[in-house]
């Protein structure tokens, strides 16, 4: 199956002044995608910017009569040139897309318990986990209520167990989401003897802080290191790991948190 295809924008909707949801209808069948894998999108047809930009798949729909190859949706923060171009593209525009790429989150085995953790825009990478595994607890940390990228109503519709923390206390618990997570894992461990897995995506500082905690759980994280090619050839997204230098695009973006050498990551 060709991983380079064209896709038409069928929805380009603002969430707030910086974030938007881009939904695409691919012109060709898309390979099955694991949560945590990503796609490279070309911002428009111009040669500037030349490079495609990586985005995690936030959601999808299966093939149907209206969209014979299903749809792909992305939650995007307008960070710079490429994302600001994507934000302005009208419905009907066709984009060049490459993917799915990289290694997703490992499947959860029977008898294991999953906890999903997101910080800020990291919710885009892990939301699919909450949909696939259903009613897993989601820990979501934001700066303020205004930074919540999905409404409490939408979050409650996908999981009965949503824990939110904000820096200023304007929504959820005031403080750091990792404090809530730590207390939750501690309590869960008292009653559950099996394997607890934590899958997380968020700002570098949050992931690094998680690495320094002694959570009694096997933890996988998705790294969003800037990258140019997405295929492991440009070596732009190298990270130092216990197994030597690895490429976030090809060997990740999902890694066991224990394997990352944080001074270099």
Ligand X SMILES: Cc1cc2nc3c(=O)[nH]c(=O)nc-3n(C[C@H](O)[C@H](O)[C@H](O)COP(=O)(O)OP(=O)(O)OC[C@H]3O[C@@H](n4cnc5c(N)ncnc54)[C@H](O)[C@@H]3O)c2cc1C
Q: Which residues bind ligand X (CB under 6 A)?
A: 38, 49, 53-56, 74-77, 79-83, 121, 124-125, 224-227, 253
Nearer residue to ligand X within complex by CB, 107 or 226: 226
Nearer residue to ligand X within complex by CB, 73 or 196: 73
Count Cβ atoms within 10 A of the Cβ of residue 17 and give its class: 0-12 exposed, 13-18 middle, 19 or more buried.
exposed
The strand pairing partners of 108, in sequence order, are: none
Nearer residue to ligand X within complex by CB, 63 or 226: 226
* Smallest separation (angstroms) from ligand X to the CB of 214: 27
- Give the start-end residues of each E strand in the chain: 4-14, 19-26, 38-41, 53-56, 59-61, 71-77, 94-101, 113-119, 138-142, 162-166, 173-174, 196-201, 218-222, 238-241, 244-247, 254-256
* Smallest separation (angstroms) from ligand X to the CB of 23: 13
Nearer residue to ligand X within complex by CB, 49 or 175: 49
* Smallest separation (angstroms) from ligand X to the CB of 261: 18
- CB distance 76 to 19 below 8 Å: yes
**Of 171, 170, 169, 152, which Cα lies nearest the Cα of 160?**
152
* Smallest separation (angstroms) from ligand X to the CB of 119: 13
Q: Which two tokens stand for residue 150?
A: 């999905």
Nearer residue to ligand X within complex by CB, 51 or 209: 51
Q: Which two tokens stand for residue 127?
A: 């939301």
Residue with tokens 């403080």: 175
Q: How many CA atoms lie within 13 A of 149 on its CB side?
A: 23
* Smallest separation (angstroms) from ligand X to the CB of 87: 9
Nearer residue to ligand X within complex by CB, 23 or 224: 224
* Smallest separation (angstroms) from ligand X to the CB of 201: 8
Residue nearest to ligand X (CB): 80
């Amino acid at each position: 199956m060709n991983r380079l295809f064209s896709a038409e924008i069928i929805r380009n909707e603002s969430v707030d002044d910086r974030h938007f949801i881009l939904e695409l209808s691919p012109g060709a069948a898309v390979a099955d995608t694991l949560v945590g894998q990503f796609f490279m999108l070309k911002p428009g047809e111009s040669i500037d910017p030349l490079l495609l930009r990586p985005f995690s798949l936030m959601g999808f729909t299966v093939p149907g009569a209206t969209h014979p190859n299903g749809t792909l949706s992305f939650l995007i923060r307008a960070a710079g040139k490429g994302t600001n171009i994507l934000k302005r593209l009208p419905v009907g525009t066709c984009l060049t897309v490459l993917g799915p790429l990289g290694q997703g989150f490992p499947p959860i085995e029977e008898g294991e318990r999953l906890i999903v953790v997101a910080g800020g825009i990291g919710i885009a990478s892990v939301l699919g986990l909450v949909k696939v595994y259903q009613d897993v607890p989601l820990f979501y940390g934001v700066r303020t209520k205004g930074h919540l990228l999905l409404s409490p109503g939408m979050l409650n519709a996908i999981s009965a167990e949503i824990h939110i923390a904000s820096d200023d206390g304007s929504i959820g618990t005031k403080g750091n989401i990792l404090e809530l997570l730590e207390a939750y894992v501690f309590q869960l461990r008292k009653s559950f003897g099996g394997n607890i897995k934590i899958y997380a995506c968020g700002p570098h500082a949050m992931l690094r802080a998680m690495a320094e905690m002694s959570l009694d759980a096997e933890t996988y994280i998705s790294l969003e290191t800037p990258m140019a090619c997405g295929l492991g050839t440009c070596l732009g997204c190298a990270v130092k790991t216990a197994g030597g230098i690895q490429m976030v695009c090809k060997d990740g973006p999902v890694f066991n948190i224990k394997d990352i050498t944080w001074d270099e990551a």
